[in-house]
A and B are shown apart, each in its own frame.
Chain A
């Protein structure tokens, strides 16, 4: 699954989602993600509008199933400074 907002792209590869724990769901403070208990996989809810690109879900994923591209990072400050 893939969705974009502005210059940012959020990509979730369901095939790679294998931890069966929903760690990413727990790390999401905005309630954008949900754990499908039957499939033991993460599901993205219909409120992606609430995503703030804190990137916690991407960071905790043990299988690199989530990738967020295009979000500004501290490097963007350093380049300007």
Chain B
């Protein structure tokens, strides 16, 4: 099958916030920019479901009604934001001082102006999404106008085109190879700069609410191209995953009503109170009153409590105090009208499909949230990866949130532009042409392969998800991680070679995603085993404490001649140091 060849000056892969914003940046500089997505533009991204840019002030009616407190302190100034990002790892999986401080500083400095600038890019109301966005797709009224703006200024777009690999020549990324699902043909892209913005890998877990196309493709293809990835073990989990038969496995959104919930075990005990007291996480002004919302009750901003809530619920379940593998969220005392004051409350009622919250407690189990993770393709404060010509934005890099994606989209787009302005589009040499021929051959083999036992892509995905939840979920230990690594290896060696698409390009997308998931799982588990401490959302039962003395480090994964290598680099504490380090320095 002959491949279609196409070229652009900047190629952006992925059309969530990071990708679209990067494409706009490049097009604004007059560069021929192509934005592609393996699905349809924006709608299949996590950004469309994202809750808010910056909280800022809630709508006045909510304050007047006394149901909403003013925005959290960390959202009020760049300095407070920066400190919060680093100290709490608020956008990086609760990573606490292991995130890139230069990048965090840049995000904090630019977030307000980049958010304001969205008004010039066609977004009407930039701050209301958190409370009054369309139920369930809060980011829609930001994302869809951005797509229109990108098209209006001349960004070329291409949907349903999956990139499988980046093309590297003379040390630089100079193109990409993939296939067009609708045209049913292979495609080769030649370009000066690539921005990868393919989102996260939340679908790698059995319990997740990440959109189905979030399969970690960007991590896998960047790794194969030789880029370094950092802190892949720090994945985001949230406590509020629905586990009630007959209801979707989804997250209960953070509405004004949910924050009043009480976690109970099978005996009816409000167990988080016990956990918070035992683990010393109560804030100074904790009221301990169950009629207060969670922040007031435990005296700490909600976002700081999330990793603890996850750990506490998982421990209740594992130690046999749950009910059929779940704990209860008690919302029976929440007045009905509270569900009707913000969009997330309405959305919750829609998801719960008539479940009577006044009469019954809801079964929940922690769930992977895809965002709030700390790992990804390593970038610097300019959105540059370790490889020349390759830039990354949004959740594919080590950070998350719509705001993070917005700023890193600008950074990566700007850096990609600067490179593209300086060079001409490279020609493929003989070695690259041979590599491309082999790559097309591999894809064609999978495409043509008839159904074969064990090779159904959906089944392989399901197997990976089960392994990852069991071994690499919210609570991990060395034994489980080692078992998981072995199980993934078995899939890689025995099942992946049988993977088939039976002539369908849609199925080929599934197959490539499945292979990528196996590879990404093969990064998360060894990285988790390597980091011998608990930090943020990475909780190891065999190393339960945060160990700043030995682990103020980033785990770095890269590909070498012998396969995958892992090592740890000390964190550059350029602006802020934790108290533990301050004390040591004296």
Cα A73 to Cα B61 in complex, Å, equals 18
Task: Indicate if the CB atoms of A54 and B49 lie closer than 8 Å.
Answer: yes
Chain B residues, Cβ within 8 Å of A50? 248-250
B89 at the interface (CB under 8 A from A): no
Chain A residues, Cβ within 8 Å of B342? 77
Task: Indicate if the CB atoms of B40 and A26 lie closer than 8 Å.
Answer: yes
Number of residues of chain B lying within 8 A (CB) of chain A: 39
Cα A51 to Cα B350 in complex, Å, equals 10
Most buried by B among A26, A35, A60: A26
A81 at the interface (CB under 8 A from B): yes
B246 at the interface (CB under 8 A from A): yes
Task: Indicate if the CB atoms of A27 and B43 lie closer than 8 Å.
Answer: yes
Q: Classify the secondary structure of A's interface with B.
A: loop
Task: Indicate if the CB atoms of B341 and A74 lie closer than 8 Å.
Answer: no
Task: Indicate if the CB atoms of B352 and A6 lie closer than 8 Å.
Answer: yes
A69: min CB distance to chain B, Å:
12
B558 at the interface (CB under 8 A from A): no
Knowing A29-B49, A56-B48 are in contact, say whether A6-B212 is a contact too (CB < 8 A): no
A56: min CB distance to chain B, Å:
6
Cα A7 to Cα B355 in complex, Å, equals 11
Knowing A54-B49, A74-B134 are in contact, say whether A35-B349 is a contact too (CB < 8 A): no
- Please provide the chain B residues from 328 to 345 with a CB less than 8 Å away from any CB of chain A in the complex: 337, 340-343
- Please provide the chain A residues from 12 to 46 with a CB less than 8 Å away from any CB of chain B in the complex: 21, 23, 26-31, 35, 37
Cα A53 to Cα B355 in complex, Å, equals 15
The A/B interface has a contact count, at CB < 8 Å, of: 91
Number of residues of chain A lying within 8 A (CB) of chain B: 31
Cα A51 to Cα B43 in complex, Å, equals 16
B236 at the interface (CB under 8 A from A): no
Q: Which residue of A lies closest to B246 (CB)?
A: A49
Task: Indicate if the CB atoms of B341 and A81 lie closer than 8 Å.
Answer: yes
Chain A residues, Cβ within 8 Å of B40? 23, 26-27, 60
* Beyond A52-B351, A80-B340, A80-B341, 20 additional pairs, beta carbon < 8 A: A5-B353, A5-B354, A6-B354, A8-B350, A23-B40, A26-B39, A28-B212, A31-B212, A35-B506, A37-B504, A37-B506, A52-B347, A52-B350, A71-B135, A71-B350, A74-B135, A74-B343, A76-B346, A77-B342, A81-B341
A-B contact pairs, 13 of them (CB 8 A): A27-B44, A30-B212, A30-B250, A52-B350, A54-B49, A54-B135, A54-B136, A71-B135, A72-B349, A74-B132, A77-B340, A77-B341, A80-B341
Q: Which residues of A contact B (CB under 8 A)?
A: 5-8, 21, 23, 26-31, 35, 37, 49-56, 60, 71-74, 76-77, 80-81
Q: Which residues of B contact A (CB under 8 A)?
A: 39-40, 43-44, 48-49, 61, 65, 132, 134-137, 160, 182, 211-213, 246-250, 337, 340-343, 346-347, 349-355, 504, 506
Among all A-B residue pairs, the 5 with the closest Cβ atoms: A6-B354, A29-B211, A54-B136, A6-B353, A5-B353
